[in-house]
Chain A
Amino acid sequence: MVYLDHAATTPMRPEAVEAYVTVAAATGNASSLHGPGRQARRVVEESRECIAAALGARPSEVIFTSGGTESDNLAVKGIYWPRREADARRRRVVASAVEHHAVLDAVRWLGSFAGAAVTWLPVDPAGRVPPEALAEELSAHGDEIALVTAMWANNEVGTVQPITELAALAAGQRVPFHTDAVQAIGQVPVDFGASGVAALTVTGHKLGGPMGVGALLLGRDIECMPLLHGGGQERDVRSGTLDVAGIAAFATAVGIAVKDQQEYAARVGALRDELVARVRAAVPDAVVNGHPTERLPGNAHISFPGCEGDALLLLLDAQGIACSTGSACSAGIAQPSHVLVAMGADEGRARSSLRFSLGHTSTSDDVEALAAALPPAVERARRAGAVRAGFAP
């Protein structure tokens, strides 16, 4: 099994599995007052401190959630409401055009059901939001803007955004700035405090923790309306019994991923460069998408002209190689990626792309296996593409 889909989910680190199993074996609700409850609470708070330390946040700024989607929804919707409540003119949400659907659809929902006006920030052909675009938007609509959201690094093409610069522009107009950093943690340096963002989304399973647990880092002075009402366990912003074992494993994984980040980026970045070189050698007309330097170390997003991405995926899957078409699915049907479309790619290029994402368990054997399997797969996928293009009823 050659696993080249770490951006979808990456194997849990053994230390995280161990932390999970150890804590899961114990009884205790972190909200209970008795001994077992206090023990669970201690695990949660130590985990919170660990994550805060790793990401440059204060412990009180860490709000545990069920993962990236919840954190994104909480930030986007939760910050919008009080901002509009405080000043009815502030109905505008500014978002990059390449956001993950967890942000994209939350923003669209605000537009459809909560009276929001939406500005989509364009990206350049490499997938970067030009800071001038945000500066212009802020000068045009500054006092109407409820929040700005732009991801730290793109999940499809791997482009890293100039987050500190964008956040500073928003801060200059006292507009809260949220960033979805799900793909960035452990891949590139991320410091919540130094970045100047108001809110930051992180999830466990992209960095070696378990699925179903994540956090929103939320500045202490940022008002946020809860989406889940109940016991108010997390700063009264998020309710629900805390997943103590998941949180312990998540914190363990964050700690390791951040500690190892530099070494990881060097090793996996070199492996990724090798992968790209091997793919280019095997398929000379392949097109590498995204930014040439400002990109995630593990991401290689490549278009194969004349091929359909889903045909290539099927053929590589049959050879035991797992990768992704890198685009959203609707009932299993690949849709042309909104990210590539925003970058100016035509639909053909958008449909002919695959995302290979390396991670902490990747080795040069994985690259080797891909390089061997790719040429015949591309040849067959091209034939299939020609068949489709030639269909005449």
Chain B
Amino acid sequence: MSGGVDSAVAAARAVDAGHDVTGVHLALARNPQTYRSGARGCCTIEDAHDARRAADVIGIPFYVWDMADEFHAGVVADFVAEYAAGRTPNPCLRCNEKIKFSAVLDRAVALGFDAVVTGHHARLGADGRLRRSVDLGKDQSYVLAVLTRGQLARAAFPLGDTTKAGVRAEAARRGLTVADKPDSHDICFIADGDTRGFLADRLGAVPGEIVDAATGEVLGQHAGAFAYTVGQRKGLGLTRPAPDGRPRYVLSITPVTNTVTVGPAEALEVSTVECGRPVWGSAPPGGPVECEVQLRAHGDPLPAVVEASADALVATLRRPARGVAAGQALVAYRPDPAGDVVLGSATISAARP
């Protein structure tokens, strides 16, 4: 229970469904003074208080579990290391994979609990298949698709059949004071929202060159390639415009040479996306699969053909996509009127035209 409206209603629904429910709030900051006092983070003292009040109203026991060490090792250190390697990680996905449905779930199972219930917006039916929420704008199946079948077997997402507005209305009906609490958007462990500053503090200044993709010309300097993401346009700090006057975008980041390569928008277009670490919702497909793929959180689904091998996955897009960053997840969906079904997920390692 984060202290937000979703997990509060999810807990209440789990109680209504007849389960013996215990509320758990995760304390994730190693130093409570740094992360937890941040007004924008999702694990402040105030959030712990809100979660406790929601548990009181629902009538369930409530505890704070200190997962700071696990969170640091599994999410924060990974986040920094991924940026240092020129990739763009998704820490919410990693938190689901390593913390909520691993460290927390394993501890809960050891203590005698059967499952972890969260307020994620996604559907998980009796068939064990993960589907998009009815609220496509709030759907979080993208950051849950990394979960294995074993993890999903001990997970419950009671909110998938309800829109966010519906959840808020239900919270108000239930007398939960978090009904109108604003959504959290920021990375919870970067309280001030300054990701670049956070990385610079940890990785230091590593100056390098910004290079034109077509000519190889050095266009400028950067203070650390980790501050850039494929597809980024703003904040490049280039003083000379392109000869044709068109905007330049980050096309790639090369950690070995510490180079940020830039070029025109169309050079961002990719049609082939290579991925590692695939996780499948059922048995891995035997041949090419027509499906839709999503390449970033809240990204549009794109028609594609996905081919699986033992430890890799290659997607061929039916029409090119822009700004595909290594480190992000590719999630493959089978369109379905009852909620698009997650077929599998993998980590993007490379993308090419």
B107 touches A332 (CB 8 A): no
Contact stretch, chosen from B62-70, B125-133, B249-257: B62-70
Chain A residues near B112 (CB-CB < 8 A): 315, 380
Determine if B163 is an interface residue (Cβ-Cβ < 8 Å): no
B74 touches A331 (CB 8 A): no
CB distance from A248 to the nearest CB of B (A): 32
For window 326-342 of A, CB contacts with B under 8 Å fall at 330-334
Chain B residues near A315 (CB-CB < 8 A): 111-112
Determine if B167 is an interface residue (Cβ-Cβ < 8 Å): no
Q: Mark A349-393, 1 if CB is under 8 A from B, else 0.
A: 000000000000000000000000000000011011011100101
**Contacts A314-B22, A384-B111 given: A332-B64 contact, CB under 8 Å?**
yes
A380 touches B98 (CB 8 A): no
A331 touches B70 (CB 8 A): no
Chain A residues near B110 (CB-CB < 8 A): 380, 383-384, 386-387
Determine if A1 is an interface residue (Cβ-Cβ < 8 Å): no
Q: What separation, in Å, do the CA atoms of A334 and B63 have in the docked complex?
A: 10
Determine if B324 is an interface residue (Cβ-Cβ < 8 Å): no
Chain A residues near B66 (CB-CB < 8 A): 310, 333-334
Q: What separation, in Å, do the CA atoms of A383 and B77 have in the docked complex?
A: 26
A310 touches B63 (CB 8 A): yes
Determine if A140 is an interface residue (Cβ-Cβ < 8 Å): no
Q: What separation, in Å, do the CA atoms of A22 and B32 have in the docked complex?
A: 46
Chain B residues near A332 (CB-CB < 8 A): 25, 27, 48, 52, 63-64
CB distance from A27 to the nearest CB of B (A): 34
Determine if A317 is an interface residue (Cβ-Cβ < 8 Å): yes
A333 touches B107 (CB 8 A): no
For window 332-348 of B, CB contacts with A under 8 Å fall at none
Chain B residues near A331 (CB-CB < 8 A): 27, 32, 36, 45, 48, 64
Determine if A318 is an interface residue (Cβ-Cβ < 8 Å): yes
Determine if B269 is an interface residue (Cβ-Cβ < 8 Å): no
Q: What separation, in Å, do the CA atoms of A318 and B48 have in the docked complex?
A: 21
Determine if B106 is an interface residue (Cβ-Cβ < 8 Å): yes
Q: Which secondary structure dominates where chain B touches chain A?
A: helix
Chain B residues near A333 (CB-CB < 8 A): 27, 32, 64, 66
- Chain A residue nearest to B63 (CB atoms) is A314
CB distance from A325 to the nearest CB of B (A): 11
CB distance from B14 to the nearest CB of A (A): 16
B61 touches A317 (CB 8 A): yes
A314 touches B61 (CB 8 A): yes
Determine if A311 is an interface residue (Cβ-Cβ < 8 Å): yes
Q: What separation, in Å, do the CA atoms of A173 and B112 have in the docked complex?
A: 58
Determine if B103 is an interface residue (Cβ-Cβ < 8 Å): yes
Chain A residues near B64 (CB-CB < 8 A): 331-333
Chain B CB within 10 Å, residue with most, of A311, A380, A384, A391? A391
Q: What separation, in Å, do the CA atoms of A317 and B112 have in the docked complex?
A: 14
- Chain A residue nearest to B20 (CB atoms) is A318
For window 108-159 of B, CB contacts with A under 8 Å fall at 110-112
Q: What separation, in Å, do the CA atoms of A309 and B63 have in the docked complex?
A: 13
Q: What separation, in Å, do the CA atoms of A389 and B61 have in the docked complex?
A: 25
- Chain B residue nearest to A351 (CB atoms) is B66
**Contacts A314-B22, A315-B112, A387-B110 given: A393-B61 contact, CB under 8 Å?**
no
CB distance from A232 to the nearest CB of B (A): 36
**Contacts A330-B32, A333-B27, A393-B98 given: A318-B61 contact, CB under 8 Å?**
yes
Chain B residues near A387 (CB-CB < 8 A): 103, 106-107, 110
Chain A residues near B78 (CB-CB < 8 A): 393
Determine if B223 is an interface residue (Cβ-Cβ < 8 Å): no
Q: What separation, in Å, do the CA atoms of A366 and B78 have in the docked complex?
A: 48
Chain B residues near A314 (CB-CB < 8 A): 22, 61, 63, 111
B111 touches A380 (CB 8 A): yes
Chain B residues near A386 (CB-CB < 8 A): 110
Chain A residues near B36 (CB-CB < 8 A): 331
Q: What separation, in Å, do the CA atoms of A334 and B67 have in the docked complex?
A: 12
Q: What separation, in Å, do the CA atoms of A248 and B32 have in the docked complex?
A: 41
Chain B residues near A384 (CB-CB < 8 A): 107, 110-111
Q: What separation, in Å, do the CA atoms of A311 and B25 have in the docked complex?
A: 14
A391 touches B70 (CB 8 A): yes
For window 26-84 of B, CB contacts with A under 8 Å fall at 27, 32, 36, 45, 48, 52, 61, 63-66, 69-70, 73-74, 77-78
Residues of B within 8 A of A (CB): 22, 25, 27, 32, 36, 45, 48, 52, 61, 63-66, 69-70, 73-74, 77-78, 98, 102-103, 106-107, 110-112
Residues of A within 8 A of B (CB): 310-311, 314-315, 317-318, 330-334, 380-381, 383-384, 386-388, 391, 393
**Which A-B residue pairs are the 8 nearest by beta carbons?**
A332-B64, A393-B74, A383-B110, A384-B110, A387-B106, A333-B66, A393-B73, A333-B27
Q: Beyond A334-B66, A391-B73, list 14 extra A-B contacts (CB 8 Å).
A: A314-B22, A318-B61, A330-B32, A331-B64, A332-B64, A333-B27, A380-B111, A383-B111, A387-B107, A391-B70, A391-B102, A391-B103, A393-B74, A393-B98
26 A-B pairs with CB atoms under 8 Å apart are A310-B63, A310-B65, A314-B22, A314-B61, A314-B63, A314-B111, A315-B112, A317-B61, A331-B27, A331-B48, A331-B64, A333-B64, A333-B66, A380-B111, A380-B112, A381-B111, A383-B111, A384-B110, A384-B111, A386-B110, A387-B103, A387-B110, A391-B74, A393-B73, A393-B74, A393-B78
